[in-house]
Amino acid sequence: MPECPTCGRGTEEGANFCSHCGSYLRARATDRAIDQMIQDARRAVDDNPTDASARFNLALACKLGGLNQWALEEFQRVAQLQPDFADAHYEIGLLHAKAGHAQEAEAALRRALDLEPSHKKASDLLRRLAHT
C-alpha cells in the first residue's frame, strides 16, 4: 500500500487523492519521477561528459521538469558536441520561442531544417513564429 507523501498514511493503490488528508498524490509522484530522471541523466553525463545522447536525455528531463534555462544550456552543449544533431537545434529553438526570443528561435529552427529538411516540428514552429 503506497504512503501519502504529505501525511504518511497508507493510501489505496492508484488513488489520485489521499483519503486522510486530501493531498493530490499524482503530482507528487510525477515530480519524484522527474527528479529521478534528472538524477539518472545527470549521473550518465557525469560518467561521460562528451556523450551527446546522455546530455540530450538530461536536457529533455530538465525540460519535462520545467527547468527550461538548464534544459536550454544542455541542448546548447549537445549542439556543440554534435553540431549535426537536428533535434537539439529544434529544442533550442522551441525553448527560445517559449522565452520570447524570436530571433534566436528562428536561427536555431533554421539550423535544424538545414540539417534535416523534413523536420516537421521545426518547420511548423518556424511557420507559427512567422505569423506572430
Phi, psi (deg, nearest 5) at residue 53: -65, -40
Are 109 and 122 in a shared domain? yes
In terms of residue numbers, what domain contains 98?
A: 51-130
- Domain end, chosen from 47, 66, 81, is at 47
- The residue among 127 and 11 whose pLDDT is bigger is 127
Model pLDDT, residue 28: 64
Are 8 and 40 in a shared domain? yes
Q: How far apart are CA 76 and CA 61, in angstroms?
A: 15
Are 1 and 57 in a shared domain? no
Are 40 and 81 in a shared domain? no
Are 57 and 42 in a shared domain? no
pLDDT digits (tens, 9 = 90+) for 24-80: 776 666 788 888 899 999 999 999 999 999 999 999 999 998 899 999 999 999 999
Are 42 and 73 in a shared domain? no
Number of domains in the chain: 2
- Give the CATH number of the domain where residue 112 resides: 1.25.40.10
Are 58 and 71 in a shared domain? yes
Are 37 and 71 in a shared domain? no
- 19-to-11, 12, 26, 57, 71 alpha-carbon distances in Å: 7, 8, 13, 36, 36
**Close Cβ partners of 66 (under 8 Å, ≥ 6 residues apart):** none
- The residue among 28 and 82 whose pLDDT is bigger is 82
Model pLDDT, residue 80: 98
Are 77 and 117 in a shared domain? yes
Are 70 and 26 in a shared domain? no
User: Global pTM?
Assistant: 0.78
Contact (CB, 8 A) for 74 and 62: yes
